[in-house]
Chains A and B, each alone.
Chain A
Amino acid sequence: MHRYTWRTLIRELALFALAALWWIPLYFLVTIALKPDLEALASPLSFPSQIELGNFGTAWTEGSLGRALANSVILTVGTVVLLVALGSLCAYTIARRAGAMSTTLYLLFVIGIILPFQLGLVPTYAALRELGLVGTYLGLILFYTGVWMPFSVFLYTGFARALPRDYEEAARVDGASQLRIFWRVVFPLLRPVTGTVAIFTGLIIWNDFFLALIFLSGTDNTPLPVAVYSFVAEFASRWNLVFAAVIVALLPALCFFVVAQRQLIRGFTGGIKT
């Protein structure tokens, strides 16, 4: 019923025009980041007459972007590992036990998804400061984990409930211990959810600025967005340098997007739909 006519062709071309418009900011981003200081100031919109890769060097060292990149990786991986490991273990228990306790726990986590984190922010900050955890990776990782754990448990529980028990029974007959059953049999079966949780929360944490700014600013442990923020404060309106830093900050997520586009979109919708 959906034929490809000349009207479809026009629609296709119109959408390409719109996509081009959508990507104009990225054109500015790349061209300006490649220009020397003078040219960036004098003719920011033209195509670069010469390519100045030195901007990236300057941004990298002046903005300590290498350290920031490492910080981002530590924060993201640390949080995702906790969300996956603790979330799946907890969800599996809730899914396999019946009764009021299980229902209550499940509700507790579901409500946690809707409950915004902002109100708990101030007391948590104060408490973590008491414990000397503000400014450390651990402090922020704990907070991220607390914020996203309900989401993780919710997704895992839904999936684990639908999982047939046959595999566990088979493993039991084969003489596996309970933890082994979980780790070797159940956890691999939960892989689709693990993918969704990792991609969805991973991207959000990778790009988080608000919490990282509050918990880590002023230390060496700041992730990329906060590092870029500080860098801009210092080099404001030297757009070629600012944009070089921005590119470094955007590149990892964009690369990931290009490589794992399908999984990423599926992970996103999978996380959102349920």
Chain B
Amino acid sequence: MSVPAGSTNARPAARRRRRRSGLPQVPWVWVLPALVLVLLLRYVATAAGGWYAFTDWNGISREAQFIGLDNFREILDNPASRGALENTIVLAVTFVVAANVIGLLLALALHRTLKTRILLRALFFAPVVMSSLAVSYIWQFIFSYTGPLNRFLDAVGLDSWQRAWTGDPTWALWTIFVVLVWQFAGLAMVMYLSGLAGIPEELDEAAAVDGASTLRRFRTITLPLLAPAFTVSVTLSLVYGLGVFDQVLALTGGGPVDASETLATQIYKQTFAFGRYGYGAALSLILTVLITAMALAQLAVLRYRERRI
């Protein structure tokens, strides 16, 4: 045995090797199936999609023509696509705020004390497990001209507010917003509840004995310690909101006159209905950049906070 005496790393490494010798190495072959799937379907496909975004490929012809930024120029010129981009951002941002505020409030209300909190949590969480396409039809009925919402407005004397909500250019987008929040708030609640459960009750008690009022305890103890839950919930809702599709298709179909198109519905329509694969890929690239940028920004904030705690 000739172990170089000067090397400080030599000894732990040797020990590690010896410790391992009892077990044969796990063969690399075992990673292959998963690896091949992910390499092909995620990496290669994404790279190819990035290339198609700059072509005019129609999905059928053997070759695709490189057309530079033409697709992107058209996205900005085409009212449907440009509207879709704007709608997606507006919808995602408002949805993230609303779903997280409601989810956080629900979590705070249902964290302790209430006798029926388990039941109530289940009631608010239930929509999360439902097919968002299927539940959207219930909401389409609620928002329909002869539906419950208008009847309710009539009953309380606000009949002038009545309208075909999903067919109204201004309101169509907001019906999607309502369904999104209704379905997602329960999930945000559960994430905040698990964040709250991770804060020792003692800290709250200590702060109370230290003389902090309820509001101050929430602001200086609960909220900062909830930061990780915030990041996760906000990131997840952002990704969900930016990719919204099912609700749009069921409630408005993107209408009226493209007023409620989103990037995902545009990708679907342009690619698979109109056969404009290159254009669809360009839309996908925009969506991908949006999602990645937002997710990375969130992740950076998380890391920053983690280092601080």
Binding site for B on A (CB under 8 A): 1-4, 8, 11-12, 15-16, 19, 22-26, 28-29, 32, 44-45, 86-87, 89-90, 92-94, 96-98, 101, 105, 108-109, 112, 114-127, 142-143, 145-147, 149-150, 152-153, 165, 168-169, 172, 178, 182, 203, 206-207, 209-210, 213-214, 224-225, 228-229, 232, 237, 239, 242-243, 246, 249-250, 253-254, 256-257, 261, 264-265, 268-269, 272-273
A-B contact pairs, 17 of them (CB 8 A): A16-B116, A29-B138, A87-B34, A89-B30, A90-B31, A90-B35, A98-B16, A112-B42, A114-B295, A119-B285, A122-B284, A124-B41, A169-B22, A232-B250, A242-B137, A256-B129, A272-B191
Q: Evaluate whether A122 and B30 lie within 8 angstroms (CB atoms) in the complex, with A108-B38, A116-B288, A209-B131 already known.
A: no
Is the pair B264, A122 in contact by a Cβ cutoff of 8 Å?
no
**B176 interface residue per 8 A CB criterion:** no
CB proximity of A129 to chain B, nearest CB, Å = 8
Name the residue in B46, B121, B243 with the highest tally of chain A Cβ atoms < 10 Å from its Cβ. B46
Which of B39, B127, B130, B292 gathers most chain A CB within 10 Å? B130
Per-residue CB contact flags for chain B residues 205-248 toward chain A (1 = under 8 Å, else 0) read 10010000000000000000000000010001001000101100
Instruction: Say yes or no: A4-B113 contact (C-beta < 8 A), given A28-B148, A119-B50, A209-B246.
Output: yes
Pick the residue among A15, A90, A92, A127 that contacts B110 (CB under 8 A): A15
Q: Which residue of A lies closest to B32 (CB)?
A: A90
List the A side residues contacting B114 at CB < 8 Å: 8, 11-12, 15
B87 at the A interface (CB under 8 A) = no
Q: Contacts A15-B120, A19-B123 known; list 19 others, CB within 8 Å.
A: A2-B112, A16-B120, A22-B127, A93-B30, A105-B31, A112-B43, A116-B239, A118-B288, A121-B284, A123-B44, A127-B45, A146-B38, A149-B34, A207-B131, A210-B245, A225-B133, A229-B133, A246-B134, A265-B121
CA distance in complex: A52, B198 (Å): 49
